[in-house]
Amino acid sequence: MRRSTALLAAAVALAAVAGCSTSADQASSEAQAQAAAEAASANGSVKATISFMEDMAAGAGKSTLARLTVEFEQQNPGITVDLVEEPDAASLLAKETAAVRAGHAPTLGQVTEGSAAGFADRQQILPVSQYADSDLPLGLSSFYIGVQQDLRLADGQLWMWPLGESVQLLYYNQALLSAKGLNPPVSWAEFAAEAKTLSGGGTTAISVDPGSSASPQGGQVLFALLAAAFGKPDFAANGSPQLNSPAAVEALTYLSDLKRDGTLAVGSDDPGERALGSRKGVFDLGPATGYAGEARAAGGAAALGTELLPTGPDNEPGNVVSGTNLAMFAGSSAVQQAAGWKYMQFLASTPVQAEWSEATGFLPASPGALLQMGGYTAKNPWLTTAVAALQYASAAPAFPWVAKAQGAEAVAVAAVLEQGADPTVALDAAQAAALADQQAGQ
């Protein structure tokens, strides 16, 4: 981490009145500090040290974030950003939670929808309107519609700002598909029909890992996408689980039928990607951020095809937005909030998003950034395919209990695909467990 003793003149003014004890004096002090911070932000003279807790601890994410942060500091010489790295998402959430409890929260942190919802419920992060003076700040409307929606929590307020996006893609072995004279499936009904044609002789169309209650994997994601495509998502907008709806039963029955027909295999540790690599699989469902790994497994980009997800009976496209967002923790001073907001805006700006996407594989948050990536997308058309889904993709409802309830889905999917359980029975059990998670989380 880099440290700085840079101070803002407004902080001196704030310290001068820190000893005031009356509520009126305290309110006046806070107002003066906020006004000073806003004035400094407006004229570009913000001076502060802020901390950013993140999990870009290796590879291109680490080096690119470090380089961009140096660039930001050069453009804003009064601001120093301390990057606090954690090795993975689970460690990051644990460290953020511990820091908040200890009264040493970072200024900024990477968050998921679920973790942001938990922090917001406990008033541990700030709504964007508190430090941007608007719930519709400059730049918001430039993001893809799915990204704009992903930044809001269930209360409708804007709590997050984008860093990097992702959606699910259907990856496929182009040679195996072409050998049968087939095109990528447009609907899930077409997918099932093609899977039968493509399977046999040591080839299985698709392989999935359901995961476990503690760690749902791609099989759970596929089930959730199918339920939505068949008419009802696995969770309602208010977070209520709908795991045994007719659409959910149809979705799990669909997967069960694929398994029965020998067109779906169950495995662990990215079985679909590994099957593509061994030419024993044709399709894989995975995040756009995993493109590089899929391409390596398939034997290079030329061998790997990408397509948006098939549609359900209504032919409406669907997808799930993921990736990573930023949030401002409560307890940050007005000066730190001004500096943190500058950094958040910088990371989401059009040129920086273009650079970040090309280096890391995250999708850019805005069409403007995509337009600046012409040379890159000419060589990587998969990215253009993927970002199209950001116009309509949605995230799972942002409630703290949803992630745990998704574990119940994984258990149901595993029970059906690995043990031959009845889909209705398995989903009734999952629904009961998810309702208990919801009740415990409220």
Looking at residue 44, its pLDDT comes to 58
Identify the helix (H) or strand (E) that includes residue 223. helix 218-229
CA angle centred on 146, ends 141 and 152, rounded to 5°: 75
> Is 160 found in the same domain as 38?
yes
Question: Residue 330: its pLDDT value, please?
Answer: 98
**Same-domain check for residues 211 and 308:** yes
What 3-state class would DSSP assign to 181?
coil
Alpha carbons 116 and 17: distance in angstroms, whole number: 33
Looking at the fold, whether 70 and 104 belong to one and the same domain comes out as: yes
Residues 92 and 239 in one domain: no
Q: Are residues 194 and 336 in the same domain?
A: no
Is the domain of 111 the same as that of 195?
no
Cα-Cα-Cα-Cα torsion 400, 405, 406, 410, nearest 10 degrees, comes to 150
> Could you tell me the pTM of the whole model?
0.88
Task: Please check whether residue 396 lies inside any domain of the structure.
Answer: no
Domain co-membership, 155 together with 271: no
The span from the CA of 401 to the CA of 281, in Å, is: 35
Q: Is 284 helix (H, G, I), strand (E, B) or coil?
A: strand
Residue 88 lies inside a defined structural domain of this protein: yes
Q: What does the block give as tokens for 152?
A: 């809001």
pLDDT of residue 353: 98
Q: Is residue 3 part of a domain?
A: no
Residue ending a domain, choose from 391, 410, 430: 391
Please tell me what DSSP assigns to residue 201. T
Q: Looking at the structure, do residues 211 and 239 belong to the same domain, yes or no?
A: yes
Task: Classify strands 125-126 and 322-329 as parallel, antiparallel or unpaired.
Answer: antiparallel
- Within-domain flag for 4: no
- Co-location of 112 and 37 in the same domain: yes
Give 178's Cβ-side CA count (13 Å radius): 6
**Does residue 377 fall inside a structural domain?**
yes
Neighbours of 81 (CB within 10 A): 28
Q: Which of 391, 413, 428 is the last residue of a domain?
A: 391
Domain count, the chain: 2
Residue 335 and residue 309 share a domain: no
Three-class SS of residue 403? helix
Pick from 391, 416, 431: which residue ends a domain?
Answer: 391
Kindly list the distances between the CA atom of residue 235 and the CA atoms of 129, 248, 398, 402, in Å, as whole numbers in the listed order.
28, 10, 10, 8
Establish if 2 belongs to a structural domain: no
The residue range of the domain holding 189 is: 168-318+401-441
Residue 419, burial from CB neighbour count under 10 angstroms (0-12, 13-18, 19+)? exposed
My answer on whether 237 and 280 are in the same domain is yes
- 255 and 441 in contact (C-beta within 8 Å)? no
Burial label, 154 (beta-carbon count in 10 A; 0-12, 13-18, 19+): middle
Evaluate whether residue 95 is within a structural domain: yes
In this structure, what token pair is assigned to residue 53? 């807790």
Q: Residue 107: inside a domain, yes or no?
A: yes
CA 29 to chain centre: 38
- Cα–Cα distance list, 38 to 72, 130, 334, 345 (Å): 19, 12, 8, 15
The pLDDT of residue 313 is 97
pLDDT reported for residue 73 = 98
| Whole-Å CA distances, 150 to 116, 159, 289 | 11, 10, 17
CB 241 within 8 Å of CB 431? yes
Cα 66 to Cα 68: distance, rounded to the nearest angstrom:
6
266 in the same domain as 131: no
Task: Output phi, psi for 86, to 5 deg.
Answer: -125, 150
Sheet architecture: strand order including 204-208: 264-266, 204-208, 281-287, 168-173, 304-307
SS (H, E, C) 115-177: HHHHHHHCCCEECHHHHHCCCCCCCHHHCCHHHHHHCECCCCCECCEEEEEECEEEEEEHHHH
CATH number for the domain harbouring residue 268: 3.40.190.10
As averages over each run of 10 residues, the pLDDT of the chain (442 residues) reads 27 28 35 46 75 96 98 97 97 98 97 94 97 96 97 96 97 95 98 98 97 96 98 96 98 98 97 94 97 93 95 97 96 96 98 98 98 97 97 92 95 98 98 96 82
Residues paired with 82 in a beta bridge: 51
Q: CB count, 10 Å around CB of 100?
A: 19
pLDDT at residue 400, rounded to an integer: 84
